[in-house]
Amino acid sequence: MKQPLRIGITLGDINGVGPEVALKAARHCARNLESVRLILIGSGSVVREQAKAFKQRAIREWQPSEGRDPGSTVSIWDPNPHLHLSWRPGEIHADASRAAASWIRTAVQACRNGVLDAMVTAPICKEGFHNAGIHFPGHTEMLAELTGTRRFAMMLFGGTLRVVLVTRHIPLARVAKELTKNKILETIRLTCEALPWMGERRARVAVCGLNPHAGDGGKIGREEIGIIAPAIRRARSEGFDVTGPVPSDTVFHQALKRKYDAVIAMYHDQGLGPLKMLAFDFGVNVTLGLPIVRTSPDHGTAFDIAGRNKAESQSMIEAIEWAADLARRKNPWK
């Protein structure tokens, strides 16, 4: 008999909405996904406290030493049950960030040694990470280091729109200096490798220009001529179906009309502004290039509503469902 998939869900910052949406989404997915075990990774005491506060049933606790199959469709794995954490909704605390980072490390190791088949990450607090002396700008870079991955990228998607970023969490003033032909080329390669994994056989990719009107022939900046276009030409020579540079004020409309299967954006808000406008409540993030499956909801800690049982869980549900789908397919980077 085939073993059920085991998907770990790290709780993120316990003072944000991570545990709440993880609890809600896991309950929903347990009813709708076949042959899947959902394992919350984090503080057992905090999960019990939040389940009680939100009038949910208690969750069975599990440790990998008990065997490969947790038995229950939803369980909680507390890697450090002797660690006491206080649930303080809406507050930023370094101890919560240190715990969140340790759960990420646990999940990555579990994916690499076969305890888990995929991982889903609830939101972390970047300010809390900084205060705790954890110097990663986000999950993406941390996961890359933990897995020894040099080629990686963020893909975010909702509905038919897929967006991949060349640069991520850096100041806008640095974007033009950070862009290189090789960075753009690697992002194109990763995107084109990922699309078949996601079920898109054609893999038609559009690459945004950096400047208004994609530079207008060099009149509004020359990054398109000197950096972006050469990367696209090289990608085409390698056999990839790539178009661009395309003005970013039109390309997302074209992608929605199914002219393209993914859009590569030069910087964070260029790509995520359109995506979140269309898919704020159900967007998903998947890290490209990793030898493991990692997805996450496309939202943050939402400290302003933490602890109030108001957080929507659809984005986390989508992330769990995609993690299950991708774990059943051949990972192009494994």
The CATH number of the domain holding residue 328 is 3.40.718.10
Is there a contact between 77 and 39 (Cβ–Cβ < 8 Å)? yes
Same domain, 41 and 188: no
pLDDT of residue 242: 98
C-alpha 142/C-alpha 232 separation (Å) is 28
The C-alpha atoms of residue 29 and residue 36 are separated, in whole angstroms, by 9
Same domain for 172 and 108: no
Same domain, yes or no, for 75 and 169?
no
Number of separate domains in the chain? 2
For residues 209 and 322, state if they share a domain.
Answer: no
Each residue's pLDDT tens digit, 214-229: 999 999 999 999 999 9
- pLDDT, position 69: 81
Residues 148 and 160 in one domain: no
Query: What pLDDT, on the 0 to 100 scale, is given for residue 66?
Result: 87
Q: Are residues 3 and 143 in the same domain?
A: yes
Q: Looking at the structure, tell me whether residues 294 and 263 fall in a common domain.
A: no
pLDDT of residue 68: 78
159: left (phi over 0), alpha (psi -120 to 50) or beta: left
Identify residue 312 by its one-letter amino acid code. Answer: E
Domain boundary (247, 262, 280) is at 280
Same domain, 8 and 141: yes
Q: Same domain, yes or no, for 28 and 14?
A: yes
Beta bridge partners of residue 77, listed in sequence order: 41
User: 37 and 141 share a domain?
Assistant: yes
Check residue 72 and give its pLDDT.
87
pTM of the predicted structure, to 2 decimals: 0.95
Range of the domain at 60: 1-152+289-334
Instruction: State the pLDDT at residue 25.
Output: 96
pLDDT confidence of residue 1: 47
Residues of the chain with pLDDT under 50: 1
Nearest by Cα to 121 from 136, 137, 142, 135: 142
Same-domain check for residues 252 and 331: no
**Looking at the structure, do residues 167 and 133 belong to the same domain, yes or no?**
no
